[in-house]
Amino acid sequence: MLIGLGFEYPLLVGLIGIGLLVLLVMLGVRVVFAAATIGLLGLVELIGWGPAAGIVGIVPHAKSTIYALSVLPMFIFIGFVAFHAGMTTQLFNAASKWLGWLPGGMAVATVFATAGFAAVSGASTATSAVFARVAIPEMLRYGYDRRLAAGVVAAGGTLATLIPPSAILVIYAIIVEESVGRLLLAGFLPGLVSALIYGGIIIGWAKVRPEAAPSVGGATWGERFTSLPPLLPIVAVVFIIISAIYQGWATPTEAGALGAGIVFAVALFRGTGLRPITASLMETAKLTVMIFSLIWGVTIFVRFLGFSGVAEAFTAWVVSLDASPMTIMICILLAYAVLGMFMDAIGMLLLTLPVVYPAVIALGFDSIWFGIIVVKMAEICLVTPPIGLNCFVVSAVRPDIPLPDVFRGIMLFFIADVITIIVLLIFPEIVTWLPDLMRN
Amino acid sequence: MFDTHPAAGGSSLVARADRRLSPVEDATNFVAAIFIFLLMCLGIAQIVLRTVFDTPLSGYVDLVELSMAGMAFLGAAYTQRMGAHIRMELLLSHLRGRGLWAAEIVGALVGMGIIAVLIWYSGAHFWRSFELGDTTIDAEFPVWPSKLVVPVAFSLWFLRLSVQLAGSVRMFIDPSRAPEGVTLMKNAAQVAQEEAEEALAASQDGKTDGC
């Protein structure tokens, strides 16, 4: 009957495939199985068993042994080892020495300390957990509002995904076949802008309610400068990756390897034992398999979509809509916001981008810019109900701060995130400037 | 990401199979971890050799690409046991008893079906490469050992899925039994609690950082 409505047969099969995929994923089938299974069945229907099975047998190995992807285990390893190298307290100490004098200074310091640590660790939730222990007691000691203290820790963790090294930006680059290096560079300024907007909104709020977020002065310049040297490894990792990509003296994988080596050396130097290092390696291997499985599983599905023509049809439909590209973009972002409430960011991107991305490009948006925006949207979902994992984590570390208080505390930063998205929509140059500079 | 694997202490067939399989999975995941560690060493060596001595390793990219099979596949069964292959738990988290185990059975069956197909056809992919004596373009390393990793690792994955299927069927028959050989779901609060504990443990390790 649908054929009667004007759908061509492959397109119809494609749409049914998408429907079945959504059904399986909703039922709780692991995404890699659901995507690969529907991909295989769809290919069989469209091109027959022999060619379909041939494609499916090749994809896992072919798609997983691409040099550009080898940066992922390096970035993941940096993150797990960074935790054992334990730089959090020093980072917070330095940030509060330098920024404590501002209105709401301790909260501003927390933003930059979490941003710095999250950048290296790459893990939002874990960063929030650590800083809930390090920063919240300090803020409470100075009489900070507990909701603000909890909110800033939960929100600060989300800055992880934009500042290099960022695994999720690598994944985006691989799916849409963009340059990994350019995406990593592109994330840096928006990450910084996000942190600055967080800081700005805290200062503004502290001006209105100085008693709830007092400034903490008294650090001498001597104290400030002696607080800096322990931060060198973190600065070094971010600097190495940006400079290697920008100046081209190493590939992202090599830069990641060097960064991992530095963090690893620091961990050894600080007396980290063999057991936590082995555990970090095992965790790294596990997460690597998880991501690679998703990539080849979704690739099998994408091969099927390619034969069905769904992405082309969706693009044609979106372009024909009687609405401005910006309106459509805002609708797409809102859809991601809803989806992100229920799904892991990596799974969400892998499943949706094959269809959404070509349409976004056809509307005239920049591919790198869209990557940054989408990843930022996915991060916002880490702090909004109902899942809001970062908020759960903060409340778990500090049982004295109930979950509703953390969610209330996060409101300020949710507003800041919306401002950031609007700023990036109006000034896409913040995203594209650095990677364009590299190209020239 | 929200799952856990309880230690199987029981004497049922499922528990025994689970105990047999787990050390093998730990070992293969550890080999994958070693590959990752070597990738780090190789990357650093390559930077030093190229920038300091101006003599980069020839065949570096080929070597990395071939070894990536080790990182991408060897830990698949281990990751399955840990419940770390992502899925959406919106519906699952509301299911209890038989309903939950029925969903787990469907999930395991779908997984076994596709992995079985993949074992066969990735095996064929390996065999072609072995017979033709395929090599990489640049350094002319043989490709077949890397391709062989896929069917081998997937076979182990298939075994793990069989254990999970058996464990789920066992629970479906009698949901009051103690779970064995299956992954159990945790809600967001439990995950948060564990993340928090892990992070605390990790920062205790780095306690020398003078707090």
Q: Is the pLDDT of residue B210 over 60?
A: no
- Do residues A6 and A272 make contact, with C-beta atoms less than 8 angstroms apart? no
Q: How confident is the model at residue A86 (pLDDT cuts 50, 70, 90)?
A: low
* Of A117-126, A308-317, B140-149, the least confident: A117-126
pLDDT at B74: 93
pLDDT at B34: 93
Q: What is the mean pLDDT of residues A31-52?
A: 91
Task: Dump pLDDT digits (tens) for B24-34.
Answer: 999 999 999 99
Contact A64 B72 (CB under 8 A): yes
SS3 assignment, position A428 = coil
Q: What is the Rg, in whole angstroms, of the alpha carbon atoms belonging to chain A?
A: 23
Average pLDDT taken over every residue of chain A? 84
Q: Which among A237, A151, A228, A253 has a CA at the least distance from the CA of A188?
A: A237
pLDDT at B194: 67
pLDDT at B150: 92
Contact B210 A84 (CB under 8 A): no
Pairs of residues, one from chain A and one from chain B, whose beta carbons lie less than 8 Å apart: 279
The ipTM (two decimal places) reads 0.87
Contact B107 A54 (CB under 8 A): no
CB-nearest to A258 from B30, B44, B188 is B44
Query: From CA A101, how far away is CA A77, in angstroms rounded?
Result: 36
**Token pair 């931060």 in the structure block, residue:** A231
**Could you tell me the CA-to-CA distances from A413 to A362, A380, A409 in Å, in that order?**
33, 9, 8
Contact A67 B124 (CB under 8 A): no
Question: Does A230 sit behind a cis peptide bond, omega within 30 degrees of 0 on the bond before it?
Answer: no
Which residues lie below 8 Å from residue A1, measured CB to CB, with a gap of 6+?
A: none
Task: Dump pLDDT digits (tens) for B77-136.
Answer: 999 988 878 777 777 777 788 888 888 899 999 999 999 999 999 988 888 888 887 777
- Do residues B172 and B105 make contact, with C-beta atoms less than 8 angstroms apart? yes
Task: Dump pLDDT digits (tens) for A277-316.
Answer: 888 888 889 888 988 888 898 889 888 988 888 888 888 8
**Could you tell me the CA-to-CA distances from A436 to A158, A181, A239, A362 in Å, in that order?**
26, 11, 18, 20
Segment 366-395 of chain A within 8 Å of chain B by CB: 387-389, 392-393, 395
pLDDT at B9: 64
Residues of A in contact with B77 (CB under 8 A): none
Q: How confident is the model at residue B191 (pLDDT cuts 50, 70, 90)?
A: low
Tokens describing residue A133: 């222990």
Q: Is the pLDDT of residue A257 over 60?
A: yes
Query: From CA A62, how far away is CA A209, in angstroms rounded?
Result: 58
- Do residues A52 and A44 make contact, with C-beta atoms less than 8 angstroms apart? yes
Q: What is the mean pLDDT of residues A117-144?
A: 79
Q: How confident is the model at residue A3 (pLDDT cuts 50, 70, 90)?
A: very low
**Token pair 């081998």 in the structure block, residue:** B152
CB-nearest to A289 from B72, B121, B209 is B72
Nearest residue of chain B to residue A295 (CA atoms):
B72
Question: Does A165 sit behind a cis peptide bond, omega within 30 degrees of 0 on the bond before it?
Answer: yes
Query: From CA B176, how far away is CA B97, in angstroms rounded?
Result: 8
Exposure letters A400-418 (e unless 16+ CB within 10 A, then b): ebebebbbebbebbeebbe
- Of residues A209 and B192, more confidence is placed in A209
- Write out the DSSP string of B68-118: HHHHHHTTHHHHHHTT-S----TTGGG--HHHHHHHHHHHHHHHHHHHHHH
Residues of A in contact with B25 (CB under 8 A): none
Query: From CA A235, how far away is CA A228, in angstroms rounded?
Result: 10
Task: Dump pLDDT digits (tens) for A210-238.
Answer: 888 877 877 778 888 877 887 788 888 88
Task: Dump pLDDT digits (tens) for A389-424.
Answer: 778 778 777 878 888 888 888 888 888 888 888 998
pTM of the model: 0.83
The three-state (H, E, C) secondary structure of B26-74, written as one string = HHHHHHHHHHHHHHHHHHHHHHHHHHCCCCCCCCHHHHHHHHHHHHHHC
Instruction: Suggest the residue from B1, B2, B40, B129 to mutate for an interface test with chain A (most A CBs closer than 10 A).
Output: B40
Contact B111 A29 (CB under 8 A): yes
Task: Dump pLDDT digits (tens) for A346-391.
Answer: 778 888 888 889 999 988 888 999 999 988 888 887 777 666 777 8
Q: How confident is the model at residue A22 (pLDDT cuts 50, 70, 90)?
A: confident
Q: What is the mean pLDDT of residues B139-168?
A: 89
